[in-house]
Every structure is written in C-alpha cells, then in structure tokens.
Chains A and B, each alone.
Chain A
C-alpha cells in the first residue's frame, strides 16, 4: 500500500511536470531569457520564488521552460530508439539465422561503449544541435529495446497463435509486426518508462559538460553547470533548483517504471 501511494505520487509528479512544460508560457511568471540587470543574483523571494541568475533572469521561469526541452528531447530519443529497436529486434528474433547474427553483433558493439561516452562522442563529432542530441541518445538506447524485443519474439514466435497466423497464409511482415509484436510489448513499456528517466539524465549530463542543449535556451543540466560556479560564492539556489528538477523527474520515471514492472509481472504481484 505504501509502495502504491509512492508510485501514485511519482505518476502525479510526472503529469505535473508535463503539464507545467506544456503550459510554460502561461505559468512562467517572467520571460525566461529576458535579462534584468537590476535583479541580478537575487535570493529566492516572493518576487522571484527560486531567485535570479547573474543576468537577472528568473530561475523559476527558466526551469519551467527547460522542462519542455528536457522532456521533449528525452521523449523524441526514446520514441526513436523504441521504433528502431522494435523493428530490428523483432526481425532478429523472428528470423533468426544471419539477420539475427548481424543485428545482435551491431547491438553488442554499441553496448561495448559506455552509453554516456558514446553519446558524448556522437554529439562532439556531429555538432551539438538539438537534433543530434536526440539521435545520440537514441543510438545509445536502441540496444535496450532491440535485445528485449528479440528475446520476447523468441518466446512469442513459438506460440500456437504464431503457428496459426502462419497457417492462414499471412505474409511474414504481417505476422511479425501485426500479430506478434504487440504481444512483446508489456516488458517494453516498463523499459521505456525507465529509459525515459535515463534519457533525461543523459540530456542534462551532455548539457552539463557543454555538449548538449546550447544557451541561451534554458536546460536543467546546463543551468546546474552554470550554478555550480556559484557554490563557493554562496548563490546556492542557482545549482540547487535545476538539480532538484532533474532529480525529481528522473526519480519519478524510475518509480513509475518499477511499479509498472511489478504490475505487469504476475510473479511479483502481491510480493512487494
């Protein structure tokens, strides 16, 4: 029960963050990019709830606007990785043989690099336009889905309904993507939720080291990096709040992902 209320809270947090991001122009009290020299480096107050930065930009407004970028990039990357992973994983799992060998060796190669180093390499090489950040994260996430779908497909393709779909004369493409792929989805939904959190973390991390989203666009990782420079001089709100935004969002996705996994896995039902 305690577990459930926690994950409900997490789900609520995700929905709230999404809502805030969507409604950014309405809820953000100030223009996130407009400098106000007179208001520079204000501590949190009733006028600026989360304080201001060196240019006098309102932190709360910047964090709310940044949610758009972080969520959108993570979502686009997850969608891209999911689609690609599903197609190659399903083909590899169903066809087996050479297709399987080739796909899985490519996947192994990608996985041989630490995901973050790979994403760094790709953005550094391709230039750090937002689209490249999306692609870089997507590439590092493809193996997760490809392997998962492949293993599910290995199970599902031996089911009687797969045999039935073959005996009625369906084309192979239709059998794989219409009849069998949807049966592979439950664990993938869990994985995608967990991976969303990880993708947000990667966007923020890339931006933190200056390879991700570029200024003046506000982004949580970049803001944290900027704020880090002020720790010693006492402007704690500059790194604390963007950092909290990242932590809360990632934590929420992980909690919801974990709960989904337990819900979809009958063996775990009633255990946790």
Chain B
C-alpha cells in the first residue's frame, strides 16, 4: 500500500531583507497509514513550517521553493487552490500549540465546529449541531450543550484543547498534524490529551504526525520518529530503534539530553546553538555542533540512507563508522 503522505525534497524559504532563510531544506518524510509519527527537533528546526507546507499555507514572505508533497497518491503542490481548500480540514487537519489562541475569541466554540460539517459535508444547521454535540461528547467534554455555547475564554486550557481536537477530527480527516498539542497544558491534562489523540486516531484510522520537542511524549505515543535539525531531516526510525541505537550525532545528543531519574547518568544538553538559517552554507547544518565532524560534512550535504530496514540516517560519520565496523 502506498504511504498516506510522501514528502520529497521539500524546501521552504523565507525572503528577508538580509537574504533567504532556508527554513526547510530538502526534507524527505513519509507517513504511513494509521501510524503515529513523531517529528522532533529544537525550536526553529522547521517542524511547524513543514506542517504548514503540507497545507500549502506558507504565507509571504515565505514560499515553498521546491519538492513534492504527495497525499494519498495526489500531488498537493500541483492542485488548484480550490481543490486544495477542499482537502484542508476535510482530509488533513491540524491541532495547534496553544488551544486558547487557536480558537476564535468572538465565536462560540460549538459554532466553530458546526461550521466544518456545513463546509465539508453539506450538513443542515440542525444536523451540524447534532454532530457537534456528539463530537464534543466523544472528546470527553461534559455538558456539551452548555459548553457548545461558550467562548474560548470561558473554558480551561485542557477543555480548549479537547475542543480543538474535536474540531480537527470532526470531518474524520485521514491525516492529523498535531503541533505541540500539549505544550501549554499541565502534565496530567497533557497525558489525557495524548491518550485522547491516540484513541481517536486508532478509532478513525487517521495517521497522526505529532510535532514536539519532548522526547518523553514521543517515546510514549509514537510508532516512528523523524528528527529534524535546522530545517534538515537527520534521522528517521521506529521509536524503539531510535531510543536504543540513535545513529546521528544530533539524535544521540538529544537522547542523552533527556533527564533520567532511574540511572546515575548526568543530563547533557545538546552542545552549541541552532545555527542561523540565513544564507546557510552547503553541507550538514549540524557540522558546527558535531563532535564527529568530517571535512566533507561542510561542503556536501549527506543524503538520508538506510542503515537498517526502516532506519534512515543522513550522516557521513555514521556511515563511515558502519562501513568500518559492520555489526552482524
């Protein structure tokens, strides 16, 4: 079966007064049907921009500079705007980082959901309202009738995120992009929201891309993980492999940076800072932070290549080490 989403060589650039910023630099990303893919990386690594690019909603001064985004066999970058609009919200949906600001402050939350049934499924007002209440119940909102008439500022953060999820899943999308859905929530609520996402994803068969910088969340929820650094995709593997045998120096550093209470291992932050993406030099953008850097890293960008089935890494040093000492 073809994957649900196949991103190839996607490049997103922002034109600024100082020059071009390559926010997403030729990334390849595959989302299989029904899976939960974690997309991790530091702030500014291009995770959210990648998500918006899938919606084709990069606004000026940004633009999609190249590549292909194939969704369910259709090339999104070639679709007319009107058809793209019908895919947004109906087939691909987004859950935002801060639910309170992602809900319109002047519209009752129920109406924002009901709107989707009318827009994408041509429901009558009464039918849309009935389904809205059903959906609010499904995401665990008590007293849906009362809550539907309330505004975002009258709901708690967790409640807002539930509404946001109800909104995203209202039209049974095939792909759900969740951009740091639990960042603004306290830990217990965050866990509930993540459970809810997983349950609903399973129930509807939707694939989920979970954008986060929290590797703990990834370990608990995701099937596979893709690691981004400064707009480049550096490693992609199933979640067990990634945590057991992180191959890219950046992934290794990330995994080491997870605080552990069960072992006597000091937490190590990733050294260095995210490099400027302004007129970035060719080659691997991790080179300046990398302990294993080779000369070639600074001139030619390493391509993703399979280390093992389903485990892809873009790193010359890792490649060289593997060739020198093959493991079984």
Chain B residues with CB below 8 A from A182, complex form: 106-107
CB of A25 closer than 8 Å to a CB of B: no
**Total count of chain B residues near the partner, CB < 8 A:** 29
Chain A residues with CB below 8 A from B106, complex form: 182-183
Bits for B143-179, please: 1 = Cβ < 8 Å to A, else 0.
Answer: 0000000000000000000001001000000000000
CB of A27 closer than 8 Å to a CB of B: no
- In the complex, the answer to whether B104 meets A165 with C-beta atoms within 8 Å is yes
Bits for B68-99, please: 1 = Cβ < 8 Å to A, else 0.
Answer: 00000000000000000111111011101110
Residues 95-149 of B contacting A (Cβ, < 8 Å): 96-98, 101-107, 115-116, 119-120
CB of B55 closer than 8 Å to a CB of A: yes
A118 to B79, CA, bound (A): 49
CB of B57 closer than 8 Å to a CB of A: yes
Interface of chain B: mostly helix, strand, loop or mixed: mixed
- In the complex, the answer to whether A168 meets B119 with C-beta atoms within 8 Å is yes
Residues 165-202 of A contacting B (Cβ, < 8 Å): 165-171, 179, 182-183
Chain B residues with CB below 8 A from A170, complex form: 85, 89, 119
- In the complex, the answer to whether A164 meets B98 with C-beta atoms within 8 Å is no
Chain A residues with CB below 8 A from B86, complex form: 169
- In the complex, the answer to whether B57 meets A171 with C-beta atoms within 8 Å is no
- In the complex, the answer to whether B97 meets A160 with C-beta atoms within 8 Å is yes
**Total count of chain A residues near the partner, CB < 8 A:** 17
A96 to B55, CA, bound (A): 21
Contact A168 to B105, CB < 8 A, known contacts A160-B97, A160-B98, A163-B96 = no
A168 to B98, CA, bound (A): 17
Chain A residues with CB below 8 A from B328, complex form: none
User: How far is the CB of A188 from the nearest CB of chain B, in Å?
Assistant: 13
- In the complex, the answer to whether B104 meets A179 with C-beta atoms within 8 Å is yes
- In the complex, the answer to whether B102 meets A168 with C-beta atoms within 8 Å is no
CB of A55 closer than 8 Å to a CB of B: no
Residues 128-176 of A contacting B (Cβ, < 8 Å): 159-161, 163-171
- In the complex, the answer to whether A171 meets B85 with C-beta atoms within 8 Å is yes
Q: A164-B167, A167-B92, A170-B119 are in contact. List 15 more A-B contacts (CB 8 A).
A: A96-B60, A160-B101, A161-B101, A161-B105, A163-B102, A164-B96, A164-B164, A167-B88, A167-B89, A168-B88, A168-B89, A168-B119, A169-B88, A170-B89, A182-B107
Top 5 nearest A-B pairs (CB, nearest first) are: A168-B89, A169-B88, A169-B89, A160-B102, A167-B94
* B residues lining the A interface (CB < 8 Å): 52, 55, 57, 60, 85-90, 92-94, 96-98, 101-107, 115-116, 119-120, 164, 167
